[in-house]
C-alpha cells in the first residue's frame, strides 16, 4: 500500500471515528434524559396535582362558583394535552436512541474493517496496545450497553406508566367496560365538577349501555334534528330492507335498530314518579343480575342475567310484566366449567342481546353465545373461546338479515365475525390489529353499501357486512375504549376520555373532518342527528356540537353523572342518570329541558322504547313506564 493510500484511509477512519463518537455521546445523552424523565414521572402524579387538588377543595367549599369550575376544566384540558405531548416525546426519544446506537455501531464496524496497518510499529508494542484496547472496549461495551438497555426499558416503562395513569381515569364503564370508581385519583376533578361529593363507591356496570353504538341516520334516511313522524314510518321507497323496517317498528338491539341510538316509537311519556308509582305500569325483579339493556319484539321483552355459575335469558310480556319463560344456558360445547374472573363492575352478563323476531341471540362473559326461539327453545349454541379480557366481555350483539355480528376485540386474536342466524356457523371472520375494547358494533348504510363500524385503540374502521372485508380505517383513538361511535349524514363520530372527539368522513377516501378535546366520554356513547352531535360525559356534562364543523352550541351540567347513553325519540333526547332520573330535553341547537322524572332506583343501563312505553333496567328491578295510572 502506498503512503498516499495509507493517508487517505487514515482520513476516512478519522471521519468514521468522529461519527461514532458523536453518535455515542448523543445516545448516552438520550439515555440519561430518559432515565431522568422516568424518575420524574414516578415522583410526580401528572393528574393528582397540588394545584388541581387545591382548586377541588375550594370548589367543595363553594360549589356554585362557576369561574372555579371553568378553571378546573381548563387545567384538566392542559393535563390531557401534556399527556399526549409526553407520550410523543417518550416515543420520539426511544426512536432517536435506537437510531443513534445504529449509527454508532455502523461507524465502529467501518473503523474496524478499514483501519490501516502501520508496519513501522514494533510488534511487542502493538500487542500490548491491542490487549489494552481490547480490555477497554470490553468494559466500555458492558457499561455502555447496560446504560442503553436500562434506558430502553425505562422508555417502555415510562410510556406504559403514562398510559396507565391516564387510562385509570377512563376505565371503560360502557356497556363493555366497568365504571371508574369515584375514589380513583383521575376522577377527582370530574367528581368535584359534578358536585358528586358522596361516598358512593358505585361502579359503572355499563352492561351494554355504555358501549352503545349510536347512529342517527339509518340507511339513507336523513334525520334533520331528530326523528320526526315522517321518519318514524319509513317507506319502502327509501330502499331500506324489509327486515330493517320491521326492526324499526320494534327495539331489537342495544340502542334500537342497528344500534343507532334512535327510537322510532311514538307517544312516549315524559312524566312519572317511581316513589308514588305514578305512570309505573309494572316492575319485576329478574332472577340474576346483569348490566345489559332490554330488547323488544312485538309483545315480548328480553333480558339476560348471570353469575359465575349460571347464565339465563328471560322473556317477559312487555304489557303485563309476566315472565313467559327462562332459558338456562348450559351444556354448551367448549364452554368453561365456571365463569371467568371479571370485574364486578362488568359482571358475567354485560352485553345486550339482540332479536330478529324469529330468535333472540345472547352472549356472556365466558364466550357462550346462544340462539333461542320465541317459545324459549334452543336453536343453536356454541362457545367462541374464553375472552382474554381483564374486565370481562361486554360488546353487545347485532343481527342484520341472516347475520349475527360479534365484536370480539380481546387480548388474544381480536376479530369481528358474522355468524349464521339460522345455524350459528361462521360466515366470515376478520382479524383486527387493535387492543381490547368494550364498545359495540354499529351498522350503517352508505353509498349502496352496508357497513359495520367498530372502534378500538388505535382505530375506527368500517367493514363490508357481506364479506367482512375492511373498507376503511383511520388511526385516531387511544386508551381502553368503551363508548361506541355515532353516525349521521355520512359522518362517523368517535371519542374516548383522555383521547379526543373525532368526526370522520368514511367511505372510499376517509379523512378526519374535525377534532375536539374539551368534553370527552369514558362511558356513555354520543348520538347524532343530521345537523347536531350530542356528547354525554360520565361526570354529568352534556354538550351539543354542530355535526359538520364541531362548533359548540351549548353545554349543560347536571347534578349526577351518566353511564347510560342518550336515545333520540321523536324530537327529544332521553338520558337517564345513575340515580335513576331521566333527563328529557329537546334535540336542538338550544338547550330546552322538558322534564326530569325520577325512578327512585339507581340505573346504569340504557332504556328501551315501545309505542307509549319506556322500559328501564334499574339496579334491582325492570320497570315499565307508560300513561296508565
Compute and round to an integer the Cα radius of gyration of the chain: 29
| Whether 410 contacts 384, CB under 8 Å | no
Cα distance from N-terminal residue to C-terminal residue, the chain: 108
Quick check: helix, strand or coil at residue 9? helix
184 falls within a domain: no
CATH code of the domain containing 523: 2.130.10.10
Residue (of 276, 150, 190, 214) closest to 597 by Cα position: 276
pLDDT above 60: residue 370:
yes
Single residue among 145, 170, 195 that ends a domain in this structure: 170
The answer to which of 141-145, 290-294, 357-361 has the lowest mean pLDDT is 141-145
10 falls within a domain: yes
pLDDT digits (tens, 9 = 90+) for 48-57: 556 666 776 6
194 falls within a domain: no
pLDDT computed for residue 11 by the predictor: 59
This prediction has a pTM of 0.68
User: Which residues lie across from 437 on neighbouring strands?
Assistant: none
| Whether 476 contacts 512, CB under 8 Å | yes
Quick check: helix, strand or coil at residue 431? strand
Q: Which residues of 572-591 are buried (b: 16+ CB within 10 A; e: fewer)?
A: bbbbbbbbbbbbbbbbbeee
Confidence bin at 228 (pLDDT 50/70/90): very low
155: left (phi over 0), alpha (psi -120 to 50) or beta: alpha
Averaged pLDDT for residues 89-115: 73
pLDDT above 60: residue 272:
yes
423 and 333 share one domain: yes
Quick check: helix, strand or coil at residue 144? helix
Handedness of CA 577, 583, 587, 588 (dihedral sign): negative
Quick check: helix, strand or coil at residue 510? coil
244 and 160 share one domain: no
Single residue among 170, 192, 215 that ends a domain in this structure: 170
Q: Give the rounded distance of the alpha carbon of 172 from its chain centre.
A: 7
223 and 269 share one domain: yes
Residue (of 471, 494, 416) closest to 174 by Cα position: 494
pLDDT computed for residue 224 by the predictor: 34
| Burial of 70 (C-beta count, 10 Å sphere; 0-12/13-18/19+) | exposed
Task: Please state, in angstroms and rounded to a whole number, the distance separating the CA atoms of residues 115 and 100.
Answer: 22
Single residue among 125, 141, 170 that ends a domain in this structure: 170
389 and 491 share one domain: yes
Task: Please state, in angstroms and rounded to a whole number, the distance separating the CA atoms of residues 398 and 296.
Answer: 13
200 falls within a domain: no
438 and 559 share one domain: yes
| Whether 144 contacts 137, CB under 8 Å | no
355 falls within a domain: yes
pLDDT computed for residue 519 by the predictor: 94
The answer to which of 223-227, 315-319, 521-525 has the lowest mean pLDDT is 223-227
pLDDT above 60: residue 525:
yes
266 and 401 share one domain: yes
Q: In what side-by-side order are the strands of the sheet with 398-400?
A: 398-400, 403-408, 415-420, 426-431
pLDDT computed for residue 416 by the predictor: 97
| Whether 418 contacts 403, CB under 8 Å | yes
Q: What is the mean pLDDT of the chain?
A: 80
pLDDT computed for residue 199 by the predictor: 39
239 and 153 share one domain: no
Confidence bin at 29 (pLDDT 50/70/90): confident
pLDDT computed for residue 125 by the predictor: 46
181 falls within a domain: no
294 and 160 share one domain: no
175 falls within a domain: no
Averaged pLDDT for residues 356-368: 96
For residue 83, CA distances in Å to 50, 87, 158, 369, 430 come to 17, 6, 12, 39, 33
Averaged pLDDT for residues 448-468: 95
User: What backbone phi and psi angles, to 5 degrees, belong to 101?
Assistant: -65, -40
75 falls within a domain: yes
The answer to which of 157-171, 297-311, 603-617 has the lowest mean pLDDT is 157-171
pLDDT computed for residue 19 by the predictor: 86
| Burial of 234 (C-beta count, 10 Å sphere; 0-12/13-18/19+) | buried
Residue (of 544, 530, 587, 444) closest to 224 by Cα position: 530
Q: Could you please report the per-residue DSSP string of 156-181?
A: HHHHHHHHHHHHGGG---STTSPPPP
532 and 580 share one domain: yes
pLDDT above 50: residue 506:
yes
Given the DSSP bridges, would you call strands 262-263 and 567-569 parallel, antiparallel or unpaired? Answer: parallel
240 and 131 share one domain: no
pLDDT above 70: residue 302:
yes
Per the structure, the count of domains in the chain is 2
Quick check: helix, strand or coil at residue 76? helix
**Domain extent at residue 360:** 207-625
| Whether 124 contacts 52, CB under 8 Å | no
Task: Please state, in angstroms and rounded to a whole number, the distance separating the CA atoms of residues 177 and 188.
Answer: 20
For residue 377, CA distances in Å to 253, 374, 402 come to 20, 7, 19
Quick check: helix, strand or coil at residue 273? strand
Extract the runs of DSSP E, i.e. beta strands, from 271-366: 280-284, 295-297, 300-306, 311-317, 323-328, 354-355, 359-363
Q: Which of 75-79, 264-268, 342-346 holds the top average pLDDT?
A: 264-268
Name residues whose C-beta falls within 8 Å of residue 107's C-beta, 6 or more positions apart in sequence: 16, 17, 19, 20, 23
Quick check: helix, strand or coil at residue 82? helix
The answer to which of 119-128, 233-242, 349-358, 485-494 has the lowest mean pLDDT is 119-128
The answer to which of 117-131, 466-480, 499-513, 600-614 has the lowest mean pLDDT is 117-131
| Whether 572 contacts 594, CB under 8 Å | yes
pLDDT computed for residue 363 by the predictor: 97
pLDDT digits (tens, 9 = 90+) for 393-405: 999 999 999 999 9
220 and 162 share one domain: no
Quick check: helix, strand or coil at residue 303? strand
458 and 321 share one domain: yes
pLDDT above 50: residue 178:
no
Amino acid at each position: 500500500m502506498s503512503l498516499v493510500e495509507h493517508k487517505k484511509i487514515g482520513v476516512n477512519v478519522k471521519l468514521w471515528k468522529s461519527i461514532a463518537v458523536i453518535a455515542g455521546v448523543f445516545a448516552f445523552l438520550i439515555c440519561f434524559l430518559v432515565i431522568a424523565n422516568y424518575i420524574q414521572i414516578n415522583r410526580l402524579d401528572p393528574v393528582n396535582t397540588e394545584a388541581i387538588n387545591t382548586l377541588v377543595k375550594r370548589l367543595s367549599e363553594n360549589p356554585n362558583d362557576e369561574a372555579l369550575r371553568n378553571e378546573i376544566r381548563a387545567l384538566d384540558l392542559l393535563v390531557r394535552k401534556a399527556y399526549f405531548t409526553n407520550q410523543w416525546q417518550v416515543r420520539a426519544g426511544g426512536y432517536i436512541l435506537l437510531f443513534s446506537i445504529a449509527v454508532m455501531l455502523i461507524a465502529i464496524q467501518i473503523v474496524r474493517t478499514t483501519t490501516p496497518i502501520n508496519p513501522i510499529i514494533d510488534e511487542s508494542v502493538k500487542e500490548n496496545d491491542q490487549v489494552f484496547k481490547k480490555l477497554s472496549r470490553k468494559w466500555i461495551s458492558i457499561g455502555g450497553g447496560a446504560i442503553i438497555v436500562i434506558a430502553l426499558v425505562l422508555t417502555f416503562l415510562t410510556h406504559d406508566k403514562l398510559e396507565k395513569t391516564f387510562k385509570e381515569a377512563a376505565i371503560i364503564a360502557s356497556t363493555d367496560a366497568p365504571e371508574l370508581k369515584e375514589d380513583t385519583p383521575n376522577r377527582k376533578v370530574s367528581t368535584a365538577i359534578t358536585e358528586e361529593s358522596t361516598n358512593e363507591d358505585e361502579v359503572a356496570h355499563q352492561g351494554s349501555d355504555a358501549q352503545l353504538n349510536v347512529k342517527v341516520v339509518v340507511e339513507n334516511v336523513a334525520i334533520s334534528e331528530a326523528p320526526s313522524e315522517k321518519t318514524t314510518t319509513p317507506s319502502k321507497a327509501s330502499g331500506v330492507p324489509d327486515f330493517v323496517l320491521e326492526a324499526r317498528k320494534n327495539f331489537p338491539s342495544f340502542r334500537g335498530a342497528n344500534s343507532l341510538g334512535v327510537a322510532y316509537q311514538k307517544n312516549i311519556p315524559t312524566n312519572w314518579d317511581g316513589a308514588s308509582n305514578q305512570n309505573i305500569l309494572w316492575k319485576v325483579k329478574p332472577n340474576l343480575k346483569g348490566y345489559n339493556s332490554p330488547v323488544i319484539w312485538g309483545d315480548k321483552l328480553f333480558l339476560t342475567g348471570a353469575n359465575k355459575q349460571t347464565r339465563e335469558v328471560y322473556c317477559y310480556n312487555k304489557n303485563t310484566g309476566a315472565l313467559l319463560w327462562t332459558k338456562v344456558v348450559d351444556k354448551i360445547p367448549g364452554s368453561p366449567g365456571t365463569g371467568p374472573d371479571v370485574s364486578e363492575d362488568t359482571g358475567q352478563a354485560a352485553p345486550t342481546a339482540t332479536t330478529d323476531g324469529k330468535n333472540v341471540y345472547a352472549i356472556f362473559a365466558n364466550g357462550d353465545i346462544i340462539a333461542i326461539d320465541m317459545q324459549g327453545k334452543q336453536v343453536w349454541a356454541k362457545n367462541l373461546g374464553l375472552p382474554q379480557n381483564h374486565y370481562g366481555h361486554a360488546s353487545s350483539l347485532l343481527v342484520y338479515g341472516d347475520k349475527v355480528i360479534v365484536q370480539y376485540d380481546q387480548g388474544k386474536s381480536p376479530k369481528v365475525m358474522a355468524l349464521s342466524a339460522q345455524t350459528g356457523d361462521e360466515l366470515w371472520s376478520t382479524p383486527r390489529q387493535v387492543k381490547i375494547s368494550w364498545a359495540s358494533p354499529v351498522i350503517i348504510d352508505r353509498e349502496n353499501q352496508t357497513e359495520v363500524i367498530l372502534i378500538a385503540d388505535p382505530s375506527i374502521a368500517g367493514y363490508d357486512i357481506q364479506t367482512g372485508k375492511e373498507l376503511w380505517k383511520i388511526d385516531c383513538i387511544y386508551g381502553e375504549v368503551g363508548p361506541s361511535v355515532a353516525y349521521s349524514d355520512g359522518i362517523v363520530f368517535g371519542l374516548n376520555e383522555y383521547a379526543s372527539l373525532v368526526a370522520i368522513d368514511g367511505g372510499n377516501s376517509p379523512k378526519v373532518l374535525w377534532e375536539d378535546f374539551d368534553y370527552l366520554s369514558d362511558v356513555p356513547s354520543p348520538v347524532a342527528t343530521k345537523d347536531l352531535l350530542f356528547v354525554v360525559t360520565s361526570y354529568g356534562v352534556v354538550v351539543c356540537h354542530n355535526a359538520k364543523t364541531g362548533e359548540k352550541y351549548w353545554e349543560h351540567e347536571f347534578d349526577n353523572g351518566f353511564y347510560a347513553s342518550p336515545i333520540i325519540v321523536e324530537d327529544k333526547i332521553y338520558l337517564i342518570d345513575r340515580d335513576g332520573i331521566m333527563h328529557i330535553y329537546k334535540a336542538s341547537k338550544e338547550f330546552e329541558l322538558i322534564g326530569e322524572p325520577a325512578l327512585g332506583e339507581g340505573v346504569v343501563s340504557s332504556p328501551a322504547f315501545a309505542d307509549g312505553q319506556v322500559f328501564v333496567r334499574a339496579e334491582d328491578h325492570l320497570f315499565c313506564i307508560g300513561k296508565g295510572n
